[in-house]
């Protein structure tokens, strides 16, 4: 394995390995103490995703290899790294969005609450119902604002109290006040930032477990970006969030944990690997790996 | 750098030739309209718009009305459109979204091959293969099951019927609608489909919720193109429809369409009025053909794939 | 407040209504697959009938002999084969230069205002029922005179013209802008650029479009029944004076007679016609894929 783990994440692994798996029902509550914790090892947390030696290839091209990573519940985990290092690839393999890409192959294991996401008998529609995703480019449906949000609940048969659900989702995405008077208007008339928040509203309307965000603010202006970042803080009360970002300040502002991916040159191939994973504070102040230090200080990538 | 005289002459010549060709195209189109209207002049002034509703067509008595042909045209084409559109959309969805790559190109080409089969061959096959089958199996069964609906009256002995014509037209328009729709479905951005998939939607929900609504006007345009083709098809229809006159409620009766009648009667035009009546029928066809075409373009233009993606 | 009661720690199998939604989706997918299979099957059935019955009629005599006198059994369709070749050949000679020139005009010279009516005319021409085209040529060239091979070829050329123009135009649109700019930068005049750079690099598309148009015209019957349907057994080169025998009308007239001995010859003729058309289509498509690839698409 090419992974150069820090002491911290090695400890986390050790801790989570001995933890009895905690059962949770519908009720969810954010454990309060952890966010401020200086070290991953300090407080054990429930783990939502465990990536075990995850490698992904597209046909002949190997995109990532040997990624081991545990993603804890109700935190914001950021994935940073230079372009092409496989951030999106990794994120999309968490909810099987890569399945339709021709030539996609995954080895290793992605465990979600202990279940292999790629195991036999897994229903990928169910996977995506539990693990929502927001993309880099806002992609609202060419429908009304209301219908964008109501579409997935309707599919799921959640017709009861639909209006309230739509409102809740739009409030949850901090968009309600801006659109409440024009719910029947086309979503394509919204600004880019509003569209992206609509996409978040659309995703949380069915109350998933996890939100995966792939550079959700990269196409937005600074003010819209700020709105999305503030949203992260409230959303993590309820959801486990994994966010890919190019923007290191953004990772520093919103994330509790940060994973740094980089391109490993092995022969003529450049393959994405996980270099370091720790609390955001550690990654940005005392990174263990020189590559991380070079990247976060802007000397590289 | 001076322009060589030979270059200037060459440019002018090429430009002139091209412009002449372009003008020729427009002239041909205009002349077609003129000739057809001009040819129908005598019948137009004699029968006026009554031609469209009168159903007697008696060349020997110089009495002409195209009502029943107009009816047959509309009924057979609508039938074809109603059957073909859903099937063609289903085929296009299969090709665009489901088919594995190798299958996709093969089946796609085969469907387009179906469009390349000449109408005279389809019609000939229709006479010898489809008509007897329809007469012996399909029509009796439909009559038995749905005979209470006047459309499904008692089958005739020949197998020639408006129904058979409708089926032949269905075969002919499916590939047209399917290939245009497939191209449309291919333009739906992957991001939209991913967005729907990420919300835990099934494949059908993605189709119904995202793909069909965003391509609806384009698919409607495709259907109109198909309709235009069905309305104007002469040969294959002539071969299987049975050249009947009069308006019958039953699809299983013989009938005729404008195009089919034009094709059928021309060799034996008995009088100048007869000739003019046939031109008149073709003029109706021309008007219907041009308007479906323009209408298809008009709705098609309202479909713009770039509108589907946010800025 | 209603919440979704999902136990996220449960195994990743369908919950809630998902099983039913999957059934609906599978049913829809089944219909899509079934429709495609049906369409291919219809093509297969038609081709199979033509091949099975047509092959029975096929022989060297059938391809090389004239029909037996009086239309009885035996004999061949050689005049119709040659005649169709001749008609389509003449139609191509008329349609191809005009089609290409129109396409060049649209892509190289015309501004948007000039291009619009031309595009419209091409689209309308393309959507015109071919029987109307036949009637038009009848009114223009046949009425008061007589049927002729030229009238038939002219009618076919009107069918071919928009097809050639459109595919040429598509291909010209793919010619990289840099190619033209490079020529301009070298001070090469427009007509030289068009003739030596633009048209050659679009040659694949022009040929493809023409082959497809030829395949289409070869099978057209409606434009011919007014213009070249009353023919004998002779193909003459007197195109202006006499109608020319041809396969589509031959099949049509044989199919309209109740005499079953004619059916066998009609199947045979259909076989010849369909083989030509399908081979031309496959060839054209292969060529198109190749020339698109060459232009980096
Ligand atoms: N659909 C695909 N087919 C083939 N290769 C792909 C595909 N998607 C990504 N790749 C390749 O996988 C590697 C990782 O790509 P990925 O998009 O995951 O990187 P990224 O870190 O998200 O980059 P960026 O920051 O630019 O978004 C790249 O080399 C890319 O070319
Ligand atoms: Mg990315």
Separation CA A211–CA A130 (nearest Å): 9
Mean of per-residue pLDDT scores for chain B: 88
Q: For residue B208, count CB atoms less than 10 angstroms from its CB and return exposed for 0-12, middle for 13-18, buried for 19 or more.
A: middle
Q: Are residues B110 and B180 in the same domain?
A: yes
**pLDDT beyond 70 at A42:** no
> Collapsing DSSP states into helix, strand and coil, what is residue B58?
strand
Is C256 in the A-facing interface, judged by CB distances under 8 Å? no
- Tell me which ligand sits closest to the C-alpha of residue A79: 1
- Tell if the CB–CB gap between A151 and B191 is shorter than 8 Å: no
One domain for residues B23 and B127: no
State whether the beta carbon of A137 lies less than 6 angstroms from ligand 1: no
Assigned domain for A61 exists: yes
For residue B271, how many C-alpha atoms fall within 13 Å in the half-sphere facing its CB? 12
CATH number at residue A105: 3.40.50.300
Q: CATH number, domain at B110?
A: 1.10.3720.10
Which of A160, A234, A164, A248 is CA-nearest to residue A197? Answer: A234
Same domain, yes or no: B59 and B84: yes
Domain regions of chain C by residue span: 90-294
Rounded to whole angstroms, the Cα distance separating C138 from C246 reads 17
Which of A24, A126, A168 has the CB atom closest to C12's CB atom?
A126
Nearest atom of ligand 1 to the alpha carbon of A101:
1
Please check whether residue A71 is in contact with residue A80, taking contact to mean a CB–CB distance below 8 angstroms. no
> Is residue B122 domain-shared with residue B194, that is, in the same domain?
yes
Of C2, C13, C22, the CB nearest to A161: C2
Tell me how crowded residue C223 is: count the other CB atoms within 10 A of its CB: 31
A91-129, pLDDT tens digit by residue?
999 999 998 888 999 999 999 999 999 999 999 999 999
Interface test with C, best of B103, B120, B289 (most C CBs within 10 A): B120
| Ligand 1 neighbourhood includes A92 CB (under 6 angstroms) | no
Tell me what the pLDDT averaged over chain C comes to.
Answer: 87
Q: Does the residue A38 lie in any domain?
A: yes
CB C226 within 8 A of CB C251: no
Average pLDDT over residues A184-201: 92
- Pocket lining: A101 vs ligand 1, CB cutoff 6 Å: yes
**A273 in ligand 1 pocket by Cβ < 6 Å?**
no
- Domain co-membership, B32 together with B179: no
The full 3-state SS of chain A, as one line of letters, equals: CCCCCCHHHHHHHHHHHHCCCCCCCCCCCCCCCHHHCCCCCCCCCCEEEEEEEEEEEECCEEEEEEEEEEEECCCEEEEECCCCCCHHHHHHHHCCCCCCCCCEEEEEEEEECCEECCCCCCCHHHHHHHEEEECCCCCCCCCEHHHHHHHHHHHCCCCCCHHHHHHHHHHHCCCHHHHCCCCCCEHHHCCHHHHHHHHHHHHHCCCCCEEEEECCCCCCCHHHHHHHHHHHHHHCCCCEEEEECCCHHHHHHHCCEEEEEEEEEECCEEEEEEEEEEEHHHHHHCCCCHHHHHHHCCCCC
Instruction: Say yes or no: B33 and B54 in one domain.
Output: no
pLDDT digits (tens, 9 = 90+) for B286-311: 999 899 988 888 887 776 555 555 44
DSSP B50: G
Distances (CA, A) of C282 to A27, C36, C208: 62, 19, 10
Cα of first residue to Cα of last residue in chain B, in angstroms, is 45
Subunits adjacent to chain A (3 or more Cβ pairs under 8 Å) = B, C
> What secondary structure does DSSP assign to B213-279, as a single string?
HHHHHHHHHHHHHHHHHHHH--HHHHHHH----S--S-TTS----HHHHHHHHGGG--SHHHHHHHH
User: Hey, are the CB atoms on B199 and A143 less than 8 Å from each other?
Assistant: no
Does the residue A257 lie in any domain? yes
Cα–Cα distance measured from residue A159 to residue A150, given in angstroms and rounded to the nearest whole number: 9
Residue A248 CA, chain-centre distance (Å), reads 15
Q: How many domains does chain A have?
A: 1
Give residue B27's domain range.
1-39
Helical (H) or strand (E) element with B63: strand B63-64
Classify B36 as helix, strand or coil: helix
- Write the pLDDT tens digit of every residue in B175-201: 999 999 999 999 999 999 999 999 999
Q: What residues in C contact B286, CB-CB < 8 Å? A: 128-129, 132
Neighbours of A13 (CB within 10 A): 18
The CATH code for residues C90-294 is 1.10.3720.10
Q: What is the mean pLDDT of residues A255-268?
A: 87
Query: Is A64 among the domain residues?
Result: yes
Instruction: Give yes or no for a contact between B289 and B231, defined as CB atoms under 8 angstroms apart.
Output: yes
User: Average pLDDT in the C268-292 region?
Assistant: 89
Question: B7 or A244: whose pLDDT is higher?
Answer: A244
* Option in A97, A142, A143 nearest B307 (CB): A142
Map residue B57 onto helix, strand or coil: strand
Residues of the domain holding A42 = 5-142+207-296
Q: Are residues B107 and B6 in the same domain?
A: no
* Residue A219 token pair: 């196409």
CB of B165 closer than 8 Å to CB of A110: no
Find the angle CA(B1)-CA(B5)-CA(B6) to the nearest 5 degrees.
115
Å from CA of A79 to ligand 2 middle: 10
Count of domains in chain B?
A: 2
Q: Of B210-224, C93-107, C282-296, which range is least confident?
A: C282-296
Interface confidence, given as ipTM, is: 0.91
Residue A158 within any structural domain of the chain: no
Residue A20 has a pLDDT of: 36
Q: Indicate if B97 and B237 belong to the same structural domain.
A: yes
Does A106 fall in a domain? yes
Q: Is A83 in the pocket of ligand 1 (CB under 6 A)?
A: yes
- Find the mean pLDDT for residues C239-249: 86
Higher pLDDT, C195 or A129: A129
Q: What is the pLDDT of residue B304?
A: 59
Q: Dig out the tokens for B238 from the structure.
A: 């002539």
Q: How confident is the model at residue A12 (pLDDT cuts 50, 70, 90)?
A: very low
Chain C residues whose CB is inside 8 A of the B95 CB are: 36
And the tokens for A126?
């169910």
pLDDT at residue C71 in the model? 60
pLDDT tens digits, residue range C29-85?
Answer: 999 999 999 999 999 999 999 999 998 888 887 887 777 766 666 677 888 999 999
Q: Per the domain annotation, does A116 fall within a domain?
A: yes
**pLDDT, average across residues A150-156:** 95
């Amino acid at each position: 394995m090419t992974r150069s783990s820090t002491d911290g994440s090695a400890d986390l692994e050790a801790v989570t390995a001995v933890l009895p798996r905690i059962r949770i029902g519908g009720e969810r509550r954010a454990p309060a103490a952890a966010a401020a914790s200086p070290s991953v090892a300090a407080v054990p947390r429930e783990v939502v995703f465990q990536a075990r030696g995850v490698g992904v290839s597209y046909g002949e091209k190997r995109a990532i290899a040997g990624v081991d990573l545990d993603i804890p519940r109700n935190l914001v985990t950021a994935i940073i790294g230079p372009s092409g290092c496989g951030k999106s690839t990794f994120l999309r393999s968490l909810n099987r969005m890569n399945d339709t890409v021709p030539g996609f192959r995954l080895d290793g294991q992605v465990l979600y609450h202990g279940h292999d996401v790629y195991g036999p008998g897994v229903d990928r529609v169910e996977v995506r119902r539990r693990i929502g995703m927001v993309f880099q480019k806002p992609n609202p449906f060419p429908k009304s604002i209301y219908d964008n949000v109501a579409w997935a609940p309707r599919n799921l048969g959640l017709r009861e109290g639909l209006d309230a659900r739509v409102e809740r989702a739009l409030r949850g995405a901090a968009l309600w006040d801006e659109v409440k008077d024009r719910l029947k208007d086309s979503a394509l008339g919204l600004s880019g930032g509003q569209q992206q928040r609509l996409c978040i509203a659309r995703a949380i309307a069915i109350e998933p477990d996890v939100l995966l965000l792939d550079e959700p603010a990269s196409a937005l202006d600074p003010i819209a970006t700020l709105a999305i970042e503030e949203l992260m803080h409230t959303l993590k009360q309820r959801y486990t969030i994994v966010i890919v970002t190019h923007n290191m300040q953004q990772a520093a502002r919103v994330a509790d944990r940060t994973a740094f991916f980089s391109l490993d040159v092995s022969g003529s191939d450049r393959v994405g690997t996980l270099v370091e994973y720790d609390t955001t504070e550690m990654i940005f102040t005392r990174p263990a790996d020189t590559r991380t230090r070079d990247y976060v200080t802007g000397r590289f990538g | 750098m001076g322009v060589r005289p030979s270059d200037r002459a060459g440019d002018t010549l090429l430009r002139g030739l091209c412009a002449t060709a372009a003008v020729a195209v427009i002239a041909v189109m205009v002349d077609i309209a003129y000739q057809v209207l001009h040819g129908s002049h005598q019948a137009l002034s004699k029968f006026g718009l009554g031609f469209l509703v009168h159903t007697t067509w008696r060349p020997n008595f110089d009495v002409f009305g195209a009502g029943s042909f107009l009816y047959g045209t509309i009924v057979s084409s609508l039938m074809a459109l109603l059957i073909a559109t859903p099937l063609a959309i289903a085929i296009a969805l299969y090709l665009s979204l489901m088919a594995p790559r190798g299958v996709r190109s093969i089946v796609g080409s085969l469907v387009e091959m179906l469009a390349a089969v000449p109408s005279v061959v389809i019609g000939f096959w229709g006479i010898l293969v489809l008509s007897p089958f329809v007469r012996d199996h399909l029509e009796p069964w439909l009559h038995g099951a749905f005979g209470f609906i006047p459309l499904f009256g008692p089958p005739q002995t020949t197998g020639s019927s408006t129904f058979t014509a409708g089926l032949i037209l269905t075969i002919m328009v499916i590939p047209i609608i399917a290939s245009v729709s497939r191209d449309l479905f291919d333009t739906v951005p992957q991001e939209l489909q991913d967005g729907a998939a990420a919300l835990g939607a099934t494949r059908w929900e993605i189709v119904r919720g995202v793909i069909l609504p965003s391509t609806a006007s384009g698919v409607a345009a495709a259907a109109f193109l198909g309709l235009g083709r069905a309305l104007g098809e002469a040969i294959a229809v002539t071969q299987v429809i049975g050249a009947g006159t009069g308006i019958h409620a039953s699809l299983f009766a013989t009938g005729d369409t404008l195009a089919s009648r034009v094709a059928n009667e021309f060799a034996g035009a008995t009088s100048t009025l007869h000739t003019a009546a046939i031109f008149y029928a073709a003029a109706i066809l021309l008007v219907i053909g041009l308007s479906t075409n323009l209408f298809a373009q008009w709705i098609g233009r309202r479909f713009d794939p770039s509108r589907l993606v946010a800025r | 407040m209603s919440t979704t009661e999902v136990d996220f720690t449960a195994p990743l199998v369908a919950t809630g209504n998902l099983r039913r939604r999957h059934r609906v989706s599978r049913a829809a997918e089944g219909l899509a697959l079934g429709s495609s299979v049906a369409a291919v099957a219809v093509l297969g059935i038609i081709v199979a009938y033509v091949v099975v019955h047509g092959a029975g009629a096929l022989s060297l005599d059938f391809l090389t002999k004239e029909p037996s006198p009086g239309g009885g059994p035996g004999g061949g369709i050689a005049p119709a084969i040659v005649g169709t070749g001749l008609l389509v050949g003449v139609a191509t000679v008329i349609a191809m230069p005009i089609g290409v020139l129109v396409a060049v005009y649209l892509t190289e010279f015309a501004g948007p205002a000039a291009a619009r009516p031309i595009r419209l005319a091409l689209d309308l021409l393309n959507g015109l029922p071919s029987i109307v085209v036949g009637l038009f040529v009848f009114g223009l060239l046949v009425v008061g005179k007589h049927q002729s091979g030229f009238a038939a070829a002219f009618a076919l050329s009107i069918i071919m013209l928009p097809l050639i123009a459109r595919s040429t135009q598509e291909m010209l649109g793919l010619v990289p802008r840099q190619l033209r700019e490079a020529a301009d930068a070298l001070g090469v005049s427009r007509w030289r650029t068009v003739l030596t750079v633009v048209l050659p690099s679009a040659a694949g598309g022009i040929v493809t479009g023409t082959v497809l148009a030829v395949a289409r015209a070869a099978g057209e019957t409606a434009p011919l029944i007014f213009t070249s349907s009353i023919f004998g057994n002779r193909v003459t080169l007197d195109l202006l004076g006499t109608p020319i025998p041809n396969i589509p009308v031959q099949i049509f007239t044989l199919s309209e007679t109740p005499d079953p001995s004619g059916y066998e010859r009609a199947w045979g003729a259909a076989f010849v016609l369909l083989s030509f058309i399908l081979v031309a289509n496959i060839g054209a498509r292969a060529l198109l894929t190749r020339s698109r690839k060459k232009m980096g698409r």
